[in-house]
Amino acid sequence: MVNESSVIGSNRVDFQVAICQTDKAYRRGDADRAMKGDIMSQFKSGISTVAMVTAMAFGLAACNDTSVEETKAPTVEEAAAFMADAEKQLFEAGTSLERKAWVQANFVTVDTSAIVAEADEEFTLLGVKLANETKRFQDLELPAELRRKMNILKGALTLPAPDDAAKTAELAKIKANLDATYATGKVEMEGETLSLGAVSDIIASDRTPERLLAAWDGWHKISKPMKDDYARMVDIANEGARELGYKDVGAMWRSGYDMDPDEFATMVDGLWGEVKPLYDALHCHVRSKLSDFYGDRVVSDTGPIPAHLLGNMWAQEWGNINDVVQQGAGSDASIDVTSLLKDNGYDAIKMVEKAEGFFTSLGFDPLPDTFWDRSLFVKPADREVQCHASAWNVDGKEDVRIKMCTKVNAEDFVTVHHELGHNFYQRAYNKQDPLHMNGANDGFHEAIGDMVALSMTPDYLKQIGLIDEVPESSDPVPGLMRQALDKVAFLPFGLMVDKWRWQVFSGEVGPDQYNDAWWKLREEYQGLKAPNDRPADAFDPGAKYHIPGNTPYMRYFLARILQFQFYKAACDQAGWTGPLHECSIYGNKEVGEKFNAMMEMGASKPWPEALEAFTGSRTMSGEAIIAYFQPLKAWLDEQNANRTCGW
């Protein structure tokens, strides 16, 4: 009998080299040669399979040992070549995914959802692969821009899958299912089957508490089936985030702001601290008015406000109850833009044309013909679509589009300006490298259009022909109140959505606590409560699109801060010296030129540099929003003098 150990031992180095050569043949795709035994056959004779496998195990473990082959350290040139190739792959794969996602959002079916799930799986696999490959260069001293690209690439996926094909496929399927569940949600009410749009109309306009509760509760039932899938998604994504070196997905999201994740959390808490007194004053006044309107049995004049009475399904903006809050305001009441739009024969297309006109008045080029040919402006009658308003750049260049189920009202007129802000921003930075084709941070992207919407003053409404004369009124409160019911009321909601997700991703809140934690934060930050006892299986977070849609939400809080900071800087540049809320930059091409210069930077520089380029400051601040609403805050303090505020 042959002594196996002596055969292997006498040829140890040659045998190890052969194993490594075989392993490398597999890795470079030369499996045919490896399987044929061209490399290993000379060692097979006289050695049992068990001994061979054992020897191969030890040999493979040593394949990276410098005794066999010196491992070559990566170079800056290799890192740059890797990045160029990675950006090319991501751009091509992202464009393909974007086209499929556009079709799915406009034709929500089982098949289109499956197609997007498959494409998303492929894109996620590519993103995970490239993100993991950045580890090779993590200890290499790189030029600052290249190092920043490595960090962007590592954190590029919203939900990273682990390096596991089965889990990647599972994650993609869960994401598609969550999205489809939301998009196809229906409410059975009063003998009818209602969509989100229909029940949202009830929440916005009805003033019957029982009917409001039925609409609110009906929509919040559609998210119950999401809970288990959502919990599983959290587990898989957290595993992926940890493989990339993050504590969890929440920490990964917070790392995308050119600062330490914990420092970012501290920064947003500081911003909230600046604006909280303004929100508290608004909350106190609105609660008192609701109590007067509905009676103390429905709304106590102390404690949290029931969430179904504020004119919005998620109580994130309260503008639809302006008639309750400013009941009897008389001739000084704010301009009714919804009525003006309808009286002047506006439809969805005309609303978008006017929004485009604002941007072109600043010197931006008109939108391409393809925008008008390919966008979705109204809800089709013959199919399911994802109605949540969104802006797209399908090819990363000029194929910009919006998708909206537009209604002729003031809220959607503002939303159209907001979505076009995304499109003009996308087009401004379309010459940047692929990883820099984004906002300086995600709050910038959301703030652009909203900054323009702040210029929709009575003077602007006259300039576009919606009114003949600017109303003569020395009282700024009605108009500012109408603005605050949306802009200020939103602030704590914009903050708490991701506060909840950070707790979920960190494990601080488990699946059995999802709903309780959601309402605890809503009470803490918004001063709101659920309008009824929530069932044990409720998953109320899922009734908000951005939760099943996995869209980070802190961007919207930052945008509420940044839009006023941008707006004040623009008004200062325009030489405006009057009350801030009366300023409009419509038609000011000098401001537009400087604004476009910031937009063209995309994500090529850290956000403080982009902010400084337009505003002169490197720090986000709540000072501008406080200055804008100063007349209202002074008035609210007077109104609240004898009330018990807080909750």
pLDDT tens digit string along 45-99?
444 444 443 444 444 444 544 444 456 889 999 999 999 999 999 999 999 999 9
pLDDT at 384: 87
What's the CA gap between 604 and 557, in Å, rounded?
Answer: 23
pLDDT at 69: 44
Q: Which of 116-120, 447-451, 602-606 reaches the highest mean pLDDT?
A: 602-606
pLDDT of residue 560 exceeding 90, the answer is yes
What's the CA gap between 410 and 483, in Å, rounded?
Answer: 11
> Confidence class of residue 156 from pLDDT cuts 50, 70 and 90?
confident
Q: How do residues 208-266 score in pLDDT, each as one tens digit? A: 999 999 999 999 999 999 999 999 999 999 999 999 899 999 999 999 999 999 999 99
Average pLDDT for 274-291: 98
Q: Is 219 helix (H, G, I), strand (E, B) or coil?
A: helix
pLDDT at 446: 87
Average pLDDT for 577-601: 95
What's the CA gap between 15 and 8, in Å, rounded?
Answer: 7
pLDDT at 388: 85
Average pLDDT for 345-358: 96
pLDDT of residue 345 exceeding 90, the answer is yes
Average pLDDT for 100-126: 91
Asked which of 13-17, 110-114, 570-574 is least confident by mean pLDDT, the reply is 13-17
Average pLDDT for 546-567: 96
pLDDT at 335: 80
pLDDT of residue 386 exceeding 60, the answer is yes
Q: How do residues 512-528 score in pLDDT, each as one tens digit? A: 999 999 999 999 999 99
pLDDT of residue 150 exceeding 60, the answer is yes
Q: In sequence order, what E strands does 294-365 have?
A: 305-306
pLDDT at 487: 95
Whether the CB-CB separation of 64 and 71 falls below 8 Å is answered with yes
The mean of the pLDDT values for the chain is: 88
Whether the CB-CB separation of 346 and 409 falls below 8 Å is answered with no
What's the CA gap between 32 and 466, in Å, rounded?
Answer: 74
> Confidence class of residue 148 from pLDDT cuts 50, 70 and 90?
very high
**Confidence (pTM):** 0.82
Whether the CB-CB separation of 474 and 639 falls below 8 Å is answered with no
% of the chain beyond a pLDDT of 70? 88
Q: Which of 16-30, 328-342, 417-431 reaches the highest mean pLDDT?
A: 417-431
- Burial (0-12, 13-18, 19+ Cβ within 10 Å), 598: buried
pLDDT at 410: 87
pLDDT of residue 473 exceeding 90, the answer is no
CA distances from 526 to 29, 52, 279, 564, 625 (A): 58, 67, 9, 21, 18
pLDDT at 71: 64
**Catalytic residue IDs:** 419, 546
> Confidence class of residue 453 from pLDDT cuts 50, 70 and 90?
confident
Q: Is 391 helix (H, G, I), strand (E, B) or coil?
A: strand
pLDDT of residue 541 exceeding 60, the answer is yes
* Phi, psi for 261 (deg, rounded to 5): -55, -40
pLDDT at 10: 40
Residues whose CB is less than 8 angstroms from the CB of residue 189 and which lie 6 or more positions away in sequence, other chains included: 199, 214, 215, 218
pLDDT of residue 343 exceeding 90, the answer is yes
> Confidence class of residue 128 from pLDDT cuts 50, 70 and 90?
confident
Estimate the crossing angle of helix 196-205 against helix 209-220, to 10 degrees.
150
Segments in 379-525 forming alpha helices (H): 410-428, 442-453, 458-463, 477-506, 514-521
Whether the CB-CB separation of 369 and 397 falls below 8 Å is answered with no
Q: Which of 175-179, 408-412, 438-442, 626-630 reaches the highest mean pLDDT?
A: 626-630
Average pLDDT for 308-324: 96
% of the chain beyond a pLDDT of 90? 77
Q: Look at 335 and 640; give whichever has higher pLDDT.
A: 640
pLDDT of residue 8 exceeding 70, the answer is no
